[in-house]
Amino acid sequence: MAAAEEEAIVWPDCLTVVGVQKPTGLFSFFSSEQLMIFSVSGGQLQYSVHPALAGKEITNNELEVTSHEWKLKDLTTLDGFAYDPRNPGCTGHASVKGGVLEAKFQMHGDKELTLTTKLGEGPLRIGFLNSKDCEAFKAVVEANAVCCATKFNRQMNKAVAEKAGSVGSSSSSSSTSSS
């Protein structure tokens, strides 16, 4: 039954997009920015520095393709993408802890946003190279957040049911032993 419930969650297509992690917090003035790739797949958000972006300037307009949709169940859909997140040369790997559960956005114009999540360690501010990528990223994160909420609620309901079942069976066994 649990496997059938899990299959009922239809995860949206994945997205990898080029952007810039903007510094936040007290010392953000002293932090440098660099181009990175941000990948949303199966409720997770991971990001890293891709070797093909090394040395490229943030305002560089020579990037022809800045985003790519792909399928989690068919990773060959990433083949040929210049900024494939599977590249072993990627460095500075990071992820949003707990995935995109309860994702919330604060927009800063049409090419920049701050993302917060239920279990994340803090806000993640991302600048995109164009507004189309920003909107696509936001839409994919929102769709993944819905799936994360469904999965989270099912797991919580299952845990409550198991706890209730174990409490019920222990109280019935104690009542039969006391008779």
User: Which residue do the tokens 């307009």 mark?
Assistant: 61
For the domain made up of 2-154, the CATH class stated in words is mainly beta
Three-state DSSP at 106 gives strand
For the chain, the maximum distance between any two Cα atoms, rounded to a whole number of angstroms, is: 81
Read off the pLDDT of residues 155-179 as tens digits, 9 standing for 90 and up: 898 889 888 877 666 555 555 544 4
CA atoms within 13 A on the CB side of 174: 6
Position 1 scores a pLDDT of: 47
Per-residue model confidence (pLDDT) at position 164: 85
- Residue 17 has a pLDDT of 97
Amino acid at 176: T
Cα dist from 46 to 28, 64, 74, 155, whole Å: 21, 22, 18, 23
What's the residue count for the chain? 179
Q: Read off the pTM.
A: 0.83
Q: What is the mean pLDDT of the chain?
A: 86
Question: Among residues of the chain, what percentage have pLDDT more than 90?
Answer: 65
State the pLDDT at residue 171.
55
pLDDT at 179: 45
Query: Is 175 in a helix, a strand, or coil?
Result: helix
Residue 62: DSSP 8-state? -
Low-confidence ranges of the chain (pLDDT < 50): 1, 177-179
